[in-house]
Amino acid sequence: MKTAFIYSNDFARFDYGSSHPLKLVRLKLTYELINACGLLVPSDHRLVEPSPASIEDLLTYHTREYIDMLRNSNSGGHIAGADLFGLGSGDNPVFPGVLDGSLLVAGASLRAAELVDSGEAEVAFNIAGGLHHAMADHASGFCLINDPVIAIKSLVSRGRRVAYIDIDAHHGDGVQSAFYDTDQVLTISLHETGLMLFPGSGFEQEIGVGEGKGYSVNVPLPPDSDDELFTYAFTEIVPPFIKTFKPDIVVSQLGVDSFRNDTLAHLNLTTNGFCNMVSMIKALARKWLALGGGGYDITNVARSWTLAWALMNDVDAPEDIPEDFLRKYPLAGFSGRKLRDEPFVIMGRRKKEMKRDVDKVITYIHKNIKLSNGFKTAS
């Protein structure tokens, strides 16, 4: 098994509510599009059904008080004090199965980690994962549990060095927080600047503390950043850091809320820049655990993660979305038949301003984190 696709139809059984931006139906849509494109069939040995994680698995990162609140909220009813844990109306609603769904997502990421670490798979992809905002003691930013942290901790407990690469539009603050003081995990997050976007963090000056000083790398991007700028920043930072750190396993968060028409960010990525970065991660990672993430236009999610799965398998995805799939999902919102986006590039003064801003960030990182000195920061 060179690659493994971790999936359960039960992912879509849980529902944040009709008015919530995070539509879990996007996971089923992605799986169905991958099937329609001939990249995976239901009987394929690469298709792996996950089992739920245990409570003990969640407790490797989350506090018992928080997990007890999720357990008490599992029926979907309001529990007094839930708001103290970030649960309630708004970003992190309580719904029936709020703990059950969390255990399933965490279990999927743990299964993916096990497959990659054991050598059973070189790449494992859990599209339901990547819930990178959840903190140890509370929910945050649509994320109820932090499956990347739980999976990474399982690998670190086995003595693995892990590099985490996050290309979601939003800063991977929960993952950074969990490993901010350790040199066993290198976290790299490229995202829209926290001056403009939740969670308001992820500035280049956030480089870790104690033994972890120099092991947190943040590349805040200006609003409107396009494929060229996003890929340029990625190329300048990610390959040299990964090659110097020499991780045993790379974990990536492949959120697509950075795309042009996503409603919750202000970036201009397309499938072109996204696939460029996925290809670079694949080239850098001897062992690779890939996770989903943000993405609030469900057609972007399905198209992009289908293309990512094709790249993971070294196969060409079709140019057109299959007609049978479009007929099956006429209300999904696909605006055309093409699987890939047309290139989009910003020109002129605005592009020069953005390039200047990104160059300042890149210069700061290379000046203050000396790769030749084992990631120790400059004095």
Look at residues 195, 224, 300 and name the one whose alpha carbon lies nearest to residue 257: 300
Contact 217, 291 (CB under 8 A): no
Q: Which residues contact 351 (CB under 8 A, 6 or more apart)?
A: 226, 229, 345
Distances from the Cα of 194 to the Cα of 90, 131, 239, 264, 337, angstroms: 20, 18, 24, 13, 35
The DSSP string of 206-227 is ----GGGTT-EEEEEE-TT-BH
Q: Which residues contact 327 (CB under 8 A, 6 or more apart)?
A: none
Residues labelled catalytic: 133
Query: Exposed, middle or buried: residue 220 (CB in 10 Å: 0-12, 13-18, 19+)?
Result: buried
- Count other C-beta atoms under 10 Å from residue 352's C-beta: 11
Can you say how many angstroms the Cα of residue 220 is from the centroid of all Cα atoms in its chain?
16
The residues pairing with 369 across neighbouring beta strands, listed in sequence order, are 377
